Structure 1
Amino acid sequence: MRLRKKPWAVDLVQAHPESVLDRPDPSKQIDWSQRFSDFSRPLAIEIGSGKGRFIASLAEQHPEMNFVAVELQITAAGIILRSKLEKNLTNLQILCADAVNLDAFFPPHQAEVLYLNFSDPWPKTRHEKRRLTYQTFLEKYQTILTSGGVVEFKTDNAGLFAYSLQSMNNYGVYFDFVSVDLHHEAAKVLAANVETEYEHKFAVQGNPIYALHARFRVK
């Protein structure tokens, strides 16, 4: 969902370059060691963070890890930044950029986990290449994830879920976990689940939440 541009969010982002990389040049490497106090800590990346409820909650719960919220909309980036500043989340950075350049922004085999939460389903066939589980994106994820790193995917869209299962299977991943109704899984699974804004909204409405965890096979 596209957010209405808010001047305060734009101003906030521009005032905090230490916390937000606003549309960096993909031809220039980002020195993440200068943006985290300890870049040797495990790294988690969320693509399409929206208002940031999910990634901010994880960063608050896991100070032993580093997190990067990748979000194209500057208003959403501003909302995430506001949460980061209010909670003093020094282990959270925001990358306001297009995920198509993801492998240019991160060093190879650095991230332990990559989150795809309620991504745009791009339902029209001619837009297939824009889906975040299309083959070219999977190639980028494999490049930046460590050996054994995991992609965690959630959606309320049955069509996107079916497509993603097929796309990932064709690519050669293996699945640690697949659910067609996440919120009715075992208590242990639910206890580890952190809700996004959309997830809470859809679950309250009674919509099933589809989820999977996938790992790439070592070549």
Structure 2
Amino acid sequence: MRFPAPPMYLGLALALAAAPAARCDDRPAAKAFELRSVGVGDTYKCVRFRPGTGEAWQLSDGRWEKLEEAAAPPAGDYDVLLIPAGVLLAVRVDRATGATWLVQGGKWTPIKEPPAKGNPAKPAPGYSLRHTRVGDQLHVLRFHTATGAAWHLGGDKFVLLRETGPVPAGDYDVTMVAGQKEWMAFRIDRTSGKTWLLLANQWSAATEPE
């Protein structure tokens, strides 16, 4: 014998039937704003920015002040690296193109690219930044997570780090460490485990066990 479903269960069944099916490839919507902050002694530095446009503001005495631009940046996929310092020190990168800016005097200043060789391919998304400090000296590396290519910030321009051999496509990450006088960087392909050490501005592959 069959019995009619109680109203509570009937309502639940109708609600489930009306709900859209979940998709395994559903992704959260892009964030309109993001926040970065660092402590400097007993004070703090705080920057709010739009990942889609690169617009950014610094927090000063509880009030947001917009950081000036040398020229309006194009739409992209921006991230901001905030570095502990007495004055506001930040680096902004478009993860889609690699274009990078440095805050100087409350204004974003574009970092110059090294001269192009031959007919370079259009940049593909996947750029990221790492930094470390040796005393008062800041060191910033930009690298591409798919190709492993990396650049060191020298003054107001990037310098491409040399390779000792071909680097296959992969899933790369870079780690930087600093001592009292020197700094060091390591690059790993998270797919294969192959690892490089940065020696005299050149990547040198670590030897694998036999």
Max Rg structure = 2
Q: TM-score, normalised by structure 1?
A: 0.26
Q: Which structure would you say has the larger RCO, counting Cα contacts within 8 Å and 6 or more residues apart?
A: 1
Identify, as 1 or 2, the structure richer in strand: 2
